[in-house]
Each structure stands twice: as structure tokens, then as C-alpha cells.
């Protein structure tokens, strides 16, 4: 036992081992049943807000898709990105990874295509389990009409770097295409 007071009471015969064990158990239960600090309610509120926002976004995307389908834009968009798709060379050795939903997909490209992807001149559209390299403007249109099909689209806001005033390495540029 860690409590010398309990040991003294046991030696004196004033308490039994069972009562000491019950006291420890009750103390542990009291510690676990601590008063709630309100964080559970806050977490539930945040989760509810995220769920509502996701439902709202999903409804808005479905509405846009329905409107575009009505106008025939989606069908025209599919034929356009299939027609304007840039073929990947067979001898490409550079693996370009991009995320689509929750999965990571790879596309083999050459130096020229990799530079165009990283500079925002090209985008990747994924439709019916096929990836298409398309011009940036077309990828933006796909992003607006059917965001679920856009696999990779370079955004200006994503690549802004925060430079500290006292940074000793501020003069050295970190390349985007750093390969290991």
C-alpha cells in the first residue's frame, strides 16, 4: 500500500482489507467521474457544424451538377477534356503523385509535363477511373462544374511562402519538384 495512514489503520485493526480496497475503488471511480469541463459539448457543437457545412456543400455541388447536366455542359465538358487531353509519353520516368478524394494516384510524366503541372499550365482530371492531363483553364472549368472530377489543379494561394525576417536561408529557394 502506498498510503501509510491506511497501513496504520490496518495494523491497529480499525479497518479491514476489504474496506481499504473499497476506498481505493471509490477514489478511482470519483477521479474518472470528474465534473465535465464543457469540452464534450464544444466538440459536439463543432462536429455538428462540420456535418452541416458538408451537407450544405454537397447539396450545392449536386445543384450545380444538375444545372450543368440540364444545359448539356457536363456532356460537352467530358468530350472536351477527352479531346484536349495531352497524352503521356511511354518513356516517362518521373512519377507525379496527386490526391483524388482520399486516395493517392500516380501518373508518369516527363520533365516538360512535370514543369507544366507545377507551374500551373496543366491540370489533372479523373473521370471513370482514367486520368487526363488537360490545360489549366479546362481544369478550372471542371473544378467549377464538377469538383469531384478534378484530381490536380495548381492554385496560386497554395504556394505562397511565409518568409521570416531573420531567416538565414531566405535567399535559398526550395524547389517544388524536389525528388528523393
Q: How far apart are CA 85 and CA 144, in angstroms?
A: 18
Look at residues 150, 152, 149, 169 and name the one whose alpha carbon lies nearest to residue 161.
169
Q: How far apart are CA 74 and CA 79, in angstroms?
A: 9
At 50 the pLDDT is: 94
Radius of gyration (C-alpha) of the chain in whole angstroms: 30
Q: Could you write out the DSSP letters of every residue in 76-134?
A: HHHHHHHHSPBPPPTT--EEEEEEETTEEEEEEE-HHHHHHHHHTSEEEEEETTEEEEE
pLDDT in tens, the chain (180 residues): 467 887 888 888 888 888 888 888 988 888 777 756 667 788 888 999 999 999 998 888 888 877 776 667 777 778 887 888 888 888 888 888 888 888 888 888 888 888 888 888 888 888 888 888 888 888 888 888 777 777 776 665 544 555 556 777 777 777 766 665
Amino acid at each position: 500500500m502506498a498510503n501509510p495512514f491506511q497501513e496504520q489503520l490496518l495494523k491497529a485493526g480499525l479497518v479491514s482489507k476489504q474496506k481499504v480496497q473499497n476506498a481505493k475503488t471509490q477514489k478511482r471511480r470519483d477521479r474518472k467521474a470528474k465534473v465535465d469541463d464543457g469540452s464534450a459539448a464544444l466538440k459536439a457543437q463543432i462536429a455538428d457544424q462540420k456535418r452541416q457545412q458538408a451537407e450544405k456543400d454537397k447539396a450545392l455541388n449536386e445543384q450545380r451538377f444538375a444545372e450543368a447536366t440540364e444545359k448539356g455542359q457536363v456532356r460537352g465538358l467530358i468530350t472536351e477534356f477527352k479531346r484536349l487531353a495531352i497524352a503521356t509519353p511511354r518513356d516517362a520516368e518521373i512519377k507525379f503523385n496527386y490526391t483524388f478524394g482520399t486516395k493517392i494516384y500516380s501518373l508518369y510524366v516527363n520533365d516538360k509535363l512535370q514543369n507544366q503541372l507545377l507551374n500551373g499550365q496543366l491540370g489533372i482530371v479523373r473521370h471513370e477511373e482514367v486520368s487526363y492531363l488537360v490545360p489549366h483553364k479546362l481544369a478550372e472549368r471542371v473544378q467549377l462544374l464538377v469538383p469531384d472530377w478534378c484530381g490536380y489543379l495548381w492554385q496560386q494561394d497554395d504556394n505562397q511562402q511565409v518568409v521570416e525576417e531573420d531567416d538565414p536561408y531566405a535567399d535559398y529557394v526550395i524547389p517544388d519538384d524536389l525528388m528523393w
